[in-house]
């Protein structure tokens, strides 16, 4: 078993619990978020082009969020060839498809296409993706930030609002308006796990865990790591 | 038609803690109880509430519960005149909305400062409580005798700690309180018999442990400002008694640390009154929901009935009306809705000042525990956003000779990071959103996106990738907040009256006038000094700030510091108990001085409020009231 695939590779900082995001936590989301309808990937879910775009979206998202693709898309399998031809997979929660739809349907499609192209062109280097995104036009760059916030918080921030606020950060005296995409999106927010916690109101942990430092009970690697014995 | 003319032994208005406790105890004895509830019925499960909470962009205490506060576009506040059974919202206590009855349910248009606490109007009452159940300490019951000065307005309770102690034990059994007696013996608190709490205590969080270590050894000179009248060389961080399961209790599971006691525990490990309410209805009590009591009728000095209005939809309109007739009447509608109902009940001019109001004390002496909220960053992580919102506190500073001069407080340690404090608090989304947004978008609304703190080589940095996860993991895991709930002394001008603004049923909404006294402000001044001491012992960086638009902001004479307060959700004092019918509304059994078959229960009867969260005490008082009802109305049991 390759537990390492669930980890956010390349990050050795002790204070980055992002590496411990558990797959089971994600799957469990389905149980707690009631009244959520799970739609198939998209109308053209199995079309090759759509899968390629989804893979590009995952490459882009992974680079920008700093979170491993396997966490963003738990059923992802890399295959042996070009990463763009890999299978993004369809897990029961499938939050990636909700986010893809949100970004693609939002009047930001042109900028989104540019972002996907950046990811395709730089699919071998996350660092290059970040460099190219930062060098993009404002519409594209701020859409990239909206995408990160979506993954982190499950909330949609308008790229235009982000741009206005970033232009004069010292004069921001009220937080930017945001909309929680869905109950499911809230419970899948990544920032909680990045800081070693869980979404408020959505814990899969056990009584008394708060007396100890975070350690993911669903990660055998963590429990049985030689370093801990 | 049957539903619109109800007859029973005991009629209760309100199905929160006090109402449910009384309904359950009486129905257990075979007494026919009917409860009128203004809001919706007990839900078959929490799913709809959880969905509302998850989807709320502002996760304020009332966010899971109906009725809606904002319109369908989530843009404007719904005008409360279009809401059948409205309630205050934390979303409207700041900014421009708080003084506008067109946006805020409570009419505070003439109030000096905002009353910030909120409550629910649903079956089971205030489900969004924190679940903390400390007892009042003995001196809290005799403030006039011990510390009273004319200007503080303190009075003694008609009962003392020893009188209520056995009822504390009963209430703790019903609520399912987790604590150790040995840890809770301070400031005179004693436990009669061989008492043990129903469950072991809730274990301390990493932050609790850190604070306990930091305050274990203090210099005598460092703590003199507290005015304790004794040498203080350490401060004990004690587990807070909580109605939170530390093991399975009465068919509910142990706490899983969802860090969401407020607004809602998703697994009901925290007690809420629907538990007792369901038991009451299983015992034969009948609950009628969507029925808003509109007038208490008086005939020959006794209550002869209560009229009510029915409705179906959140936005009304009235669909009918009815009357409930009983031998005994209990109003358990909380510290604002109870005086509102009493004041609305004018009986065609026979009771022009309202029912039970010969003392003119109904609606007066409104109190809360104004909260001094402080927050900072520790040098090392304590991993907040884990465990119950609060697990421990410093309690022993809540009583001492200083109370002759300034308000007492407790020190409540938060496990929820900056979620209720940063960036203007939860009404804006707060953390982790604020800090995350800062580092994604190159802003500094949180105050932490600075070169000095991040070591990133510049201010207002926008990050992607591993830099982002590393920075957020580092900073957010070091967050903490400390709250100081501060005692408020009674002031007859802090008051609930009736507004000319109506609700969708045509009833007058509550009007509030509220301020905090110099006595309370002096409590803030001392809390400020203690905050400085604690932060310095922790090596913490202080990020406490006051939002620009906060109408509660104030300064204390002689200091440059700007303060504000949060609402504790503790609505108290508005129909206080006492032995003298000229200066109080109910007696020590919570029975109206004016009308022998009328009881008014809940924290509105507290003549002074100490610093303990009120729910345990009001629950104990409700259980004591049951004994009085049974004793005075023996015919009910026939």
Q: Is the pLDDT of residue A9 over 80?
A: no
> Would residue B475 count as lying in a domain?
yes
Closest CA to B422 of B373, B370, B474: B373
How far, in whole angstroms, is CA B25 from its chain's centroid? 24
The answer to which of A14-28, A97-111, B385-399 has the lowest mean pLDDT is A14-28
pLDDT of residue A18: 36
Question: Whose structure tokens read 């006090």?
Answer: B18
Residues ≥6 apart with Cβ < 8 Å to B326: B7, B8, B9, B10, B11, B34, B305
Closest CA to B549 of B96, B90, B77: B96
Q: How many CB atoms lie within 10 A of CB A101?
A: 14
Whether residue B390 sits in one domain with residue B313: no
Dist. CA B182–CA A125, nearest whole Å: 60
DSSP-derived secondary structure letter, B409: B
Dist. CA A167–CA B561, nearest whole Å: 31
pLDDT of residue B74: 66
Interface of B with A in 258-287 (CB under 8 A): 258-260, 263-264, 266
Strand partners, B297: B305
Instruction: Give this complex's ipTM.
Output: 0.94
Whether residue B608 sits in one domain with residue B462: no
pLDDT of residue A171: 72
Q: Is the pLDDT of residue A27 over 80?
A: no
- Report the relative pairing of strands B33-36 and B10-13 from DSSP bridges: parallel
Q: What is the pLDDT of residues B106-151, one digit of tens each?
A: 999 999 999 999 999 999 987 889 999 999 999 999 999 999 876 7
Chain B residues whose CB is inside 8 A of the A203 CB are: 256-259
**Helices in B389-510 by DSSP H: which ranges?**
433-441, 451-454, 465-476
Whether residue B538 sits in one domain with residue B395: yes
> Would residue B527 count as lying in a domain?
yes
**Most confident option among A36-45, A49-58, B221-230:** B221-230
Whether residue B535 sits in one domain with residue B423: yes
Chain A residues whose CB is inside 8 A of the B467 CB are: 66
Q: Is the pLDDT of residue A4 over 50?
A: no
Q: Is the pLDDT of residue B480 over 60?
A: yes
Coil, strand or helix at A157: coil
Phi then psi dihedrals of residue B524, to 5 deg: -60, -40
Whether residue B282 sits in one domain with residue B329: yes
Contact A211 B209 (CB under 8 A): yes
Coil, strand or helix at B633: coil
pLDDT of residue B520: 97
Whether residue B42 sits in one domain with residue B31: yes
Strand ranges inside B359-400, DSSP E:
371-377, 390-394
Q: Please state, for a pLDDT cut of 90, what percent of chain B lies above it.
A: 89
Strand partners, B311: B318
Q: What is the pLDDT of residues A60-83, one digit of tens each?
A: 999 999 999 999 999 999 989 999
Whether residue B526 sits in one domain with residue B396: yes
Range of the domain at B450: 203-239+371-485+517-563
pLDDT of residue B73: 65
Contact B444 A153 (CB under 8 A): no
Q: Look at the alpha carbons of B315, B318, B320, B324 in this order and tell me if their dihedral is positive or negative.
A: positive
Dist. CA B158–CA B338, nearest whole Å: 21
> Would residue B122 count as lying in a domain?
yes
Give the residue, B31 or A50, on which the prediction is more confident: B31
**Tokens representing residue B609 in the block:** 């409020």
Across B482-502, average pLDDT: 98
Q: Is the pLDDT of residue A102 over 60?
A: yes
Q: Name the pLDDT band for A31 (thresholds 50, 70, 90).
A: very low
Across A103-122, average pLDDT: 93
Per the CB < 8 A criterion, the answer to whether A195 and A152 are in contact is: no
Q: Name the pLDDT band for A162 (thresholds 50, 70, 90).
A: very high
Choose from B74, B466, B470, B480 for mutation: most chain A CBs within 10 A. Answer: B466
Across B196-224, average pLDDT: 98
Q: Is the pLDDT of residue A182 over 90?
A: yes
Whether residue B607 sits in one domain with residue B509: yes
> Would residue B111 count as lying in a domain?
yes
> Would residue B52 count as lying in a domain?
yes
Interface of B with A in 177-236 (CB under 8 A): 203-206, 209
Q: What share of chain A is helix, strand, coil (3-state, %, to 5)?
A: 55, 5, 45
Interface of B with A in 538-557 (CB under 8 A): 548
Whether residue B603 sits in one domain with residue B508: yes
Phi then psi dihedrals of residue B557, to 5 deg: -50, 130
Whether residue B437 sits in one domain with residue B332: no
Dist. CA A20–CA A18, nearest whole Å: 5
Q: Name the pLDDT band for A41 (thresholds 50, 70, 90).
A: very low
In three-state form (DSSP H/G/I as H, E/B as E, the rest C), the secondary structure along B46-111 is: CHHHHHHHHHCCCCCCCCCCCCCCECCCCCCECCHHHCCCCCCCHHHCCCCHHHCCCCCCCECCCC
Q: Please state, for a pLDDT cut of 70, what percent of chain B lies above it.
A: 97
Residue ending a domain, among B563, B582, B601, is B563
Radius of gyration of chain B measured on its C-alpha atoms: 24
Q: Is the pLDDT of residue B457 over 50?
A: yes
pTM given for the model:
0.92
> Would residue B175 count as lying in a domain?
no
Strand partners, B512: B496
Alpha carbon distances (Å) from A52 to A59, A117, A120, A123, B578: 10, 11, 9, 12, 76
Across B390-417, average pLDDT: 97
Q: How many CB atoms lie within 10 A of CB B308?
A: 24
- Report the CATH number at residue B288: 3.50.50.60
Dist. CA A95–CA A154, nearest whole Å: 9
Q: Is the pLDDT of residue A163 over 60?
A: yes
On average, the pLDDT of chain B sits at: 95
Dist. CA B138–CA B81, nearest whole Å: 44
> Would residue B91 count as lying in a domain?
yes
* Cα of B477 to nearest chain A Cα, Å: 6
Residues ≥6 apart with Cβ < 8 Å to A229: none
> Would residue B624 count as lying in a domain?
yes
Choose from B429, B434, B460, B465 for mutation: most chain A CBs within 10 A. Answer: B465
Q: Any idea how long chain A is?
A: 229
- Whether the bond between B263 and the residue before it is cis, its omega within 30 degrees of 0, is yes
Q: Show me where the domains of chain A are located.
A: 3-228
**Tokens representing residue B524 in the block:** 């803030």
Q: Is the pLDDT of residue B274 over 60?
A: yes
pLDDT of residue B637: 58
pLDDT of residue A225: 36
Whether residue B400 sits in one domain with residue B329: no
Across B74-100, average pLDDT: 89
Burial of A167 (0-12, 13-18, 19+ CB in 10 A): exposed
Dist. CA B345–CA B351, nearest whole Å: 7
Q: Is the pLDDT of residue A105 over 90?
A: no
Alpha carbon distances (Å) from B147 to A2, B156, B406, B484, B573: 68, 10, 10, 21, 19
Across A199-216, average pLDDT: 90
Contact A192 B432 (CB under 8 A): yes
Q: Output the CA torsion B437→B443→B444→B449 (10° steps).
A: 90
Whether residue B449 sits in one domain with residue B389: yes
Dist. CA B13–CA B25, nearest whole Å: 16
pLDDT of residue A7: 33
Alpha carbon distances (Å) from B414 to B121, B256, B374, B565, B593: 27, 17, 10, 16, 41
pLDDT of residue B414: 97
Choose from A207, A213, A215 for mutation: most chain B CBs within 10 A. Answer: A207
Q: What is the pLDDT of residues B575-627, one digit of tens each?
A: 999 999 999 999 999 999 999 999 999 999 999 999 999 999 999 999 999 99
């Amino acid at each position: 078993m390759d537990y390492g695939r669930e980890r956010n590779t390349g990050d050795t900082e002790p204070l980055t619990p992002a590496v411990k995001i558990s797959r089971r936590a994600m799957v469990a989301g389905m149980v707690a978020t009631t009244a959520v309808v799970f739609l198939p990937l998209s109308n053209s879910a199995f079309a090759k082009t759509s899968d390629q775009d989804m893979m590009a979206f995952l490459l882009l998202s992974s680079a920008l969020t700093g979170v491993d693709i396997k966490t963003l898309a738990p059923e992802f399998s890399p295959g042996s060839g070009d990463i763009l031809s890999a299978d993004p997979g369809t897990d029961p929660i499938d939050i990636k498809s909700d986010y893809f739809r949100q970004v693609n349907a939002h009047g930001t499609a042109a900028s989104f296409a540019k972002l996907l192209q950046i990811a395709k062109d730089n699919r071998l280097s996350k660092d290059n993706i970040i460099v190219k995104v930062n060098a993009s036009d404002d519409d594209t760059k701020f859409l990239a930030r909206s995408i990160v916030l979506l993954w982190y918080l499950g909330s949609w921030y308008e790229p235009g609002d982000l741009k206005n606020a970033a232009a004069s950060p010292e004069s921001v005296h009220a937080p930017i308006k945001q909309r929680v995409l869905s109950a499911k999106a809230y419970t899948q927010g990544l920032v909680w796990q990045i800081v070693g916690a869980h979404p408020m109101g959505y814990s899969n942990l056990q009584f008394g865990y708060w007396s100890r430092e975070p350690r993911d009970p669903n990660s055998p690697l963590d429990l049985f790591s030689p370093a801990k014995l | 038609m049957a539903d619109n003319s109800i007859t029973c032994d005991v009629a209760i208005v309100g199905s929160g803690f006090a109402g449910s406790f009384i309904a359950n105890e009486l129905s257990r004895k075979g007494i026919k109880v009917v409860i009128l509830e203004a809001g919706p019925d007990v839900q078959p499960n929490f799913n709809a509430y959880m969905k509302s909470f998850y989807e709320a962009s502002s996760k304020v205490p009332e966010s899971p519960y109906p009725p809606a506060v904002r319109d369908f576009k989530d843009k404007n506040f719904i005008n409360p005149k279009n809401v059948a059974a409205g309630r205050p919202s934390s979303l409207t206590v700041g900014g421009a909305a708080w003084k506008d009855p067109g946006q805020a349910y409570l009419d505070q248009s003439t109030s000096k400062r905002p009353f910030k606490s909120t409550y629910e109007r649903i079956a089971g009452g205030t489900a969004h409580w924190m679940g903390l159940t400390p007892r009042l300490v003995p001196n809290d019951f005799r403030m006039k005798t011990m510390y009273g000065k004319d200007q503080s307005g303190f009075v003694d309770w008609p009962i003392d700690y020893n009188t209520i102690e056995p009822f504390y034990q009963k209430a703790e059994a019903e609520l399912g309180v987790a604590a150790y007696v040995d840890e809770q013996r301070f400031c005179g608190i004693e436990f009669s018999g061989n008492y043990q709490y129903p469950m072991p205590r809730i274990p301390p969080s990493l932050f609790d442990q850190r604070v306990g270590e930091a305050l274990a050894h203090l210099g005598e000179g460092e703590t003199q400002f507290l005015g304790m009248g004794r040498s203080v060389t350490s401060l004990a961080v004690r587990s807070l008694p909580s109605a939170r399961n530390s093991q399975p209790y009465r068919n509910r599971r142990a706490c899983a640390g969802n860090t969401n006691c407020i607004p809602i525990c998703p697994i009901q490990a925290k007690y809420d009154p629907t538990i007792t309410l369901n038991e009451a209805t299983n015992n034969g009590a009948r609950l009628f929901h969507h029925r808003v009591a509109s007038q208490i009728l008086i005939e020959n000095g006794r209550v002869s009935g209560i009229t009510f209005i029915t409705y179906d939809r959140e936005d009304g309109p009235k669909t009918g009306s009815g009357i409930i007739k009983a031998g005994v009447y209990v109003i358990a509608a909380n510290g604002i809705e109870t005086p509102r109902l009493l004041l609305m009940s004018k009986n065609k001019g026979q009771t022009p000042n309202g029912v039970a109001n010969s003392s003119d004390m109904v609606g007066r002496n409104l109190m809360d525990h104004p909260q001094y909220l402080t927050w900072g960053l520790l040098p090392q992580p304590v991993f907040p956003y884990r465990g119950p919102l609060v697990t421990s506190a410093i309690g022993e500073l809540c009583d001492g000779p200083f109370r002759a001069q300034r308000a007492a407080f407790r020190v409540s340690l938060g496990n929820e990071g900056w979620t209720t404090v940063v960036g203007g608090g939860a009404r804006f989304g707060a953390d982790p959103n604020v800090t995350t947004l800062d580092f994604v978008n190159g802003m500094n609304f949180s105050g932490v996106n600075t070169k000095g703190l991040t070591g990133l080589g510049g201010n207002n940095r926008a990050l992607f990738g591993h830099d982002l996860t590393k920075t957020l993991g580092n900073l957010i895991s070091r967050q903490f907040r400390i709250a100081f709930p501060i005692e408020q002394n009674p002031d007859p001008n802090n008051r609930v009256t009736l507004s000319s603004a109506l609700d969708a049923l045509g009833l007058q909404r509550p009007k509030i006038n509220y301020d905090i006294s110099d006595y309370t402000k002096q409590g803030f001044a001392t809390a400020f000094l203690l905050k400085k001491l604690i932060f310095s012992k922790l090596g913490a960086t202080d990020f406490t700030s006051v939002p620009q638009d906060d109408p509660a902001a104030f300064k204390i004479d002689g200091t440059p510091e700007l303060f504000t307060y949060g609402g504790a959700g503790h609505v108290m004092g508005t129909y206080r108990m006492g032995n003298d019918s000229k200066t109080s509304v109910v007696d020590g059994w919570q029975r109206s001085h004016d009308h022998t078959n009328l009881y008014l229960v809940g924290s509105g009867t507290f003549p002074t409020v100490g610093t303990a969260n009120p729910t345990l005490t009001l629950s104990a008082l409700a259980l004591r009231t049951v004994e009085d009802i049974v004793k005075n109305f023996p015919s009910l049991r026939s």
